[in-house]
């Protein structure tokens, strides 16, 4: 009854006001507007009275006993609660546990109680004659056949052609040297034996000079101290002189001298050459051959190489076996060719080369044919025969029979499922505790994404693919939620995957876990796609190396490593790169679908070439400059307080985009033109224009698909601040006209107040920007005092109550703002007039 009397009393008041207003002139529209305001105030007071107790509880809970009631307006609370209509956190955790348990415990759904290795409690007989295929044993045998098949080889045509071209190049090189050195022998072998001529060209300079001096003295017998070959050469030269003449001998000696010079020059060129198959010794032998002998040698070399390449050189052929193959091919060659030098030349060309490579398709086809040709392993039994004795351990053969007769007692292993659920609950609890302590409150979509990422890893383990996706999970979670949460998730998923698929190779698990941890610990700190691509390469390299080293430690036979394990390690390393590439590709879609931001996306949003920022710079240049200065202030404060600098930068650039709805309604864009609000001369209309930049900003942000965390900067940077200029103007008008007092709520922004440290810093920076710009010749102390005054006003107005910014952090932010202001307004040197005039002479 009391409430009704209050309503009745206030209704009479409304009627009296209405009568007074309508008795006035009908042209006074402002009185009509005042009527509407008074009605709204009465309704608001009525509802505030009904909810007084609720407001009091909220006020005490926030430890702000002097909080104005309008801060907790009932409609604002209902409106703000709409986005919070989501699954209750325990229910979301329950769904996560149920999903993970369903995947982790898949092997317990249809598990036989009488399996291989268990003891049969009873004696089991075969009910009838039957035969069953032992699929497991058959597959194991087929796997042995596939891995033990001799690979099919084929010639590498490109390498074969390259080896032939290499030989032809070497033969051309020999021909050039032979032409450069000159013809050989110098004279007919009947006058001087060819071997003696070879000796004369190859001997050292000292012996050569000795021979020439001996011939010049024309003495009788040579000195017996000379070497036998030297004595023989001198005798043959004297015999040549007797058969011809002294002049002819002198001409021969000059010819030999020139040939010796070119001969040693050629050998030195070969010795200093970097990419030559010739050695000085081999070249010397080839130069000593006559033309016919060289032609025979050249033909023999080519034929031998062609035969060897036709037969094929398999990988890993040892040097001794290659030399033996070459020698066998040279057995039929004539005695006139230098076999040892040919062997040395071909060894240098063919060493560590193989023109036989594995034909993977043919080998795979052969392996599959061999595996399919192998008959399945059949287990037979007669009716009444004993399958297994009581107390006897069940073998694979007995299990095939038991399972075939449906006597293996398949069913749900509740104990196994219970253990799975316990492990999952423990894992989810650990992850939730880490998330609660180190991360902002999770949304429903965050829980869904993390659950889906977590389910993907054990699902891959179920199919026993081996190539775990932990690098992709670590990269995505680290980019979306930070390294700590990602590292926790990778470690827990590694354990769950091992439990879900106990037969998985531990080398895969270890390498995949390390790769995932590297991605998780680094990805959240990277700021470009290129850096993430490099991270994928590092992950792949680490995964492949760890897999190879792990198998190297455990491998019983080291000889199989290079042929089998190394390719597998390379493939596993490439899988790490592939998962990283997949994560990079799917990341933008997940960002859009789950309304997430990564450091890279924040950097992309802060790009001034974005469509919305280009519009802001073009349509509202003054607002854009204001935004840049606010961003400088806020970024500096964010670094000092260890906040998210990328988020601050991006959010600040978009916080005033709503001013594009009416650029001239804001003084920074008027560029000296008449103030629009002076022309309007109505604080109620002006305040609506000012307020509208928040609502219109939210519309633009949604239209351009800005993330929620960026959109929050638009309303929260203004909070519920009072638009004081137009409030006091309206108040003065009301006092002048003798009307009711003006309610502050009508001249305040709709809010909410800043809900994060980042938006709180932007509110402070936005409030100080105009004041700092107005200071030109002021001292830092004056600027600091002005900033502190603004900060105190925001704090007393309870604008920072939900931001997480502490009162003792305000002086730190104020000092940072002053430093930034000093950087923008530092003193400059006044140049003398003469320094600005052109100079005739340059002075350093």
Q: What is the per-residue pLDDT across 31-69, written as a single tens digit (0 to 9) for each?
A: 444 444 554 554 444 334 333 333 333 333 333 332 332
Least confident window among 55-69, 367-381, 573-587, 670-684: 55-69
Q: What is the pLDDT of residue 790?
A: 93
Strands 130-133 and 378-381: antiparallel
The more confidently predicted of residues 593 and 403 is: 593
Q: What is the pLDDT of residue 267?
A: 80
**What share of the chain in percent tops pLDDT 90?**
20
Q: What is the pLDDT of residue 502?
A: 66
Q: What is the pLDDT of residue 815?
A: 94
pLDDT digits (tens, 9 = 90+) for 612-639: 999 999 999 999 999 999 999 999 999 9
Least confident window among 69-73, 464-468, 571-575, 577-581: 69-73
Mean pLDDT of the chain: 79
Split at pLDDT 50, 70, 90, the class of 95 is confident
Give the whole-angstrom CA distance, residue 607 versus residue 505. Answer: 46
Query: Which of 147-161, 492-506, 576-590 has maximum average pLDDT?
Result: 576-590
Note the pTM of the prediction, 2 decimals: 0.55
Number of Cα atoms under 13 Å in the Cβ half of residue 627: 27
Task: List the alpha helices (DSSP H) in 641-671.
Answer: 645-654
Give the whole-angstrom CA distance, residue 188 versus residue 344. Answer: 30
Query: Which of 78-87, 304-313, 372-381 has maximum average pLDDT?
Result: 304-313
Give the whole-angstrom CA distance, residue 736 versus residue 724. Answer: 18
Least confident window among 593-607, 648-662, 726-740, 824-838: 824-838
**480 token code pair:** 């979306």
Angle between helices 246-272 and 157-181 (to 10 degrees): 150
* Residue 411: its H or E element: strand 410-411
pLDDT at 787 exceeding the cut of 70: yes
Q: What is the pLDDT of residue 331?
A: 84
What 3-state DSSP class applies to 125? strand
Give the residue-averaged pLDDT of 210-234.
77
pLDDT digits (tens, 9 = 90+) for 418-475: 888 899 899 988 988 888 887 667 888 888 899 899 888 888 877 766 678 899 999 9
Query: Which of 23-27, 615-619, 777-781 has maximum average pLDDT?
Result: 615-619
Q: What is the pLDDT of residue 564?
A: 61
Least confident window among 357-371, 450-464, 487-501, 598-612: 357-371
Handedness of CA 613, 618, 624, 628 (dihedral sign): positive
Split at pLDDT 50, 70, 90, the class of 194 is confident
Tell me if 191 sits within 8 A of 240, measured CB to CB. Answer: yes
pLDDT digits (tens, 9 = 90+) for 766-777: 989 888 877 777
Give the residue-averaged pLDDT of 214-231.
75
Q: What is the pLDDT of residue 4?
A: 38
Tell me if 600 sits within 8 A of 526, measured CB to CB. Answer: yes
Q: What is the pLDDT of residue 562?
A: 55
Give burial (CB, 10 Å; 0-12/13-18/19+) of 115: middle
Q: What is the pLDDT of residue 843?
A: 44
Split at pLDDT 50, 70, 90, the class of 112 is confident
Name the class of domain 414-596: mainly alpha
Tell me if 530 sits within 8 A of 488, measured CB to CB. Answer: no
pLDDT digits (tens, 9 = 90+) for 794-804: 999 999 999 98
The more confidently predicted of residues 353 and 80 is: 353
Split at pLDDT 50, 70, 90, the class of 530 is confident
User: In angstroms, what is the C-alpha Rg of the chain?
Assistant: 47
pLDDT at 15 exceeding the cut of 50: no
* Residue 301: its H or E element: helix 291-311
Q: What is the pLDDT of residue 149?
A: 67
Distance of CA 448 to the CA centre of its chain: 23
DSSP code for 333? S
The more confidently predicted of residues 488 and 502 is: 488
pLDDT digits (tens, 9 = 90+) for 239-265: 888 888 888 888 888 888 888 888 888
Split at pLDDT 50, 70, 90, the class of 120 is confident
The more confidently predicted of residues 744 and 12 is: 744
pLDDT at 142 exceeding the cut of 80: no
Give the whole-angstrom CA distance, residue 646 versus residue 526. Answer: 12
Q: What is the pLDDT of residue 765?
A: 94
Q: What is the pLDDT of residue 225?
A: 74
DSSP code for 188? -
Give the residue-averaged pLDDT of 502-507.
65
Split at pLDDT 50, 70, 90, the class of 22 is very low
Q: What is the pLDDT of residue 385?
A: 84
Q: Which residue has the tokens 């066998």?
A: 328
Give the residue-averaged pLDDT of 328-351.
85
Parse the chain into domains and list their residue ranges: 2-84, 110-134+377-411, 185-280, 414-596, 615-824
Q: What is the pLDDT of residue 831?
A: 54
pLDDT at 607 exceeding the cut of 80: yes
Q: What is the pLDDT of residue 598?
A: 85
**671 token code pair:** 């560029």
pLDDT digits (tens, 9 = 90+) for 717-759: 999 999 888 888 888 888 888 777 788 888 999 989 999 999 9
Give the residue-averaged pLDDT of 500-515.
75
Split at pLDDT 50, 70, 90, the class of 166 is confident
pLDDT digits (tens, 9 = 90+) for 512-524: 889 899 999 998 8
Q: What is the pLDDT of residue 346?
A: 87
Give the residue-averaged pLDDT of 659-664.
90
């Amino acid at each position: 009854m009391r409430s009704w009397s209050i309503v009745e009393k206030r209704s009479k008041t409304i009627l009296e006001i209405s009568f007074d207003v309508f008795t006035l002139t009908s042209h006074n529209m402002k009185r009509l507007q005042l009527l509407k305001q008074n009605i709204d105030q009465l309704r608001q007071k009525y509802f505030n009275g009904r909810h007084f107790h609720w407001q009091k509880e909220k006020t005490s809970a926030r430890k702000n006993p002097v909080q104005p009631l309008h801060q907790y307006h009932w409609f604002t609370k209902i409106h703000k609660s709409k986005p919070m209509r989501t699954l209750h956190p325990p229910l979301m955790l329950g769904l996560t546990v149920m999903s993970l348990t369903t995947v982790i415990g898949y092997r317990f759904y249809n598990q036989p109680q009488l399996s291989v290795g268990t003891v049969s409690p009873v004696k089991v007989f075969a009910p009838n004659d039957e035969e069953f295929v032992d699929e497991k044993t058959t597959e194991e045998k087929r796997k042995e056949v596939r891995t033990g098949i001799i690979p099919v080889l084929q010639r590498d045509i490109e390498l074969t052609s390259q080896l032939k071209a290499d030989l032809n190049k070497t033969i051309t090189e020999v021909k050039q040297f032979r032409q450069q050195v000159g013809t050989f022998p110098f004279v007919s072998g009947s006058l001087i034996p060819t071997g003696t001529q070879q000796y004369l060209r190859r001997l050292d300079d000292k012996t050569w000079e000795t021979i020439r001096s001996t011939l010049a003295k024309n003495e009788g017998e040579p000195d017996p101290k000379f070497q036998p070959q030297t004595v023989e050469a001198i005798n043959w030269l004297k015999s040549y002189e007797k058969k011809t003449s002294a002049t002819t001998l002198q001409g021969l000696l000059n010819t030999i001298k020139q040939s010796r010079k070119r001969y040693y020059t050629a050998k030195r060129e070969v010795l200093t050459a970097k990419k030559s198959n010739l050695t000085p010794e081999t070249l010397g032998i080839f130069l000593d051959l006559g033309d016919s002998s060289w032609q025979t040698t050249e033909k023999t070399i080519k034929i031998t190489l062609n035969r060897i390449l036709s037969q094929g050189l398999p990988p890993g052929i040892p040097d001794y076996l290659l030399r033996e193959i070459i020698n066998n091919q040279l057995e039929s060659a004539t005695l006139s060719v230098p076999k040892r030098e040919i062997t040395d030349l071909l060894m240098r060309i063919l060493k560590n080369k193989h023109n036989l490579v594995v034909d993977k398709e043919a080998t795979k086809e052969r392996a599959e044919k061999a595996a399919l040709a192998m008959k399945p392993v059949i287990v037979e039994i007669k009716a009444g025969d004993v399958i297994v004795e009581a107390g006897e351990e069940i073998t694979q053969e007995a299990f095939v029979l038991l399972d075939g007769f449906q006597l293996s007692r398949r069913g749900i292993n509740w104990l196994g499922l219970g253990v799975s659920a316990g492990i999952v609950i423990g894992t989810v609890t650990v992850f939730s505790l880490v998330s609660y302590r180190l991360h902002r409150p999770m949304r429903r979509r965050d829980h869904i994404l993390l659950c889906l990422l977590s389910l993907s890893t054990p699902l891959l383990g179920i199919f026993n693919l081996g190539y775990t996706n932990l690098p992709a999970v670590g990269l995505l979670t680290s980019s979306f939620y930070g390294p700590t949460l990602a590292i926790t998730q990778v470690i827990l998923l590694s354990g769950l995957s091992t439990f879900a698929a106990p037969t998985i190779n531990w080398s895969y698990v270890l390498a995949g876990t390390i790769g995932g941890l590297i991605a998780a610990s680094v990805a959240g700190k990277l700021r470009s796609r290129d850096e993430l691509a490099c991270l994928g390469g590092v992950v792949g390299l680490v995964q492949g190396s760890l897999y190879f080293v792990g198998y190297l430690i455990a491998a019983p036979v080291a000889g199989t490593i290079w042929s089998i394990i190394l390719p597998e390690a390379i493939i596993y390393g490439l899988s790490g790169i592939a998962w990283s590439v997949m994560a990079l590709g799917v990341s933008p879609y997940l960002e859009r679908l789950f309304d997430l931001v990564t450091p890279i996306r924040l950097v992309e949003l802060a790009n001034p070439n974005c469509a919305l920022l280009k519009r802001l710079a073009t349509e509202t240049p003054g607002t854009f400059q204001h935004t840049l200065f606010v961003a400088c202030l806020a970024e500096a404060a964010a670094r000092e307080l260890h906040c998210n600098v990328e988020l601050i930068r991006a959010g600040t650039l978009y916080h005033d985009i709503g001013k594009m709805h009416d650029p001239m309604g804001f003084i920074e864009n008027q560029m000296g033109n008449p103030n629009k609000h002076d022309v309007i001369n109505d604080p109620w209309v002006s305040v609506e224009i000012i307020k509208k930049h928040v609502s219109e900003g939210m519309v633009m942000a949604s239209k351009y698909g800005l993330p929620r965390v960026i959109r929050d900067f638009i309303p929260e940077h203004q909070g519920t601040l009072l638009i004081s200029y137009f409030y006091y103007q309206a108040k003065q008008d009301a006092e002048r006209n003798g009307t009711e007092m003006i309610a502050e709520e009508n001249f305040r922004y709709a809010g909410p107040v800043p809900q994060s440290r980042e938006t709180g810093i932007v509110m402070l920076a936005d409030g100080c920007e105009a004041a700092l710009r107005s200071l030109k010749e002021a001292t830092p102390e004056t600027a600091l005092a002005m900033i502190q005054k603004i900060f105190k006003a925001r704090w007393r107005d309870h604008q920072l109550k939900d931001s997480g910014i502490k009162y003792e952090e305000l002086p730190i932010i104020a000092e940072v703002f002053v430093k930034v202001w000093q950087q923008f307004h530092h003193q400059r040197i006044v140049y003398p007039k003469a320094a600005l005039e052109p100079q005739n002479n340059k002075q350093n």
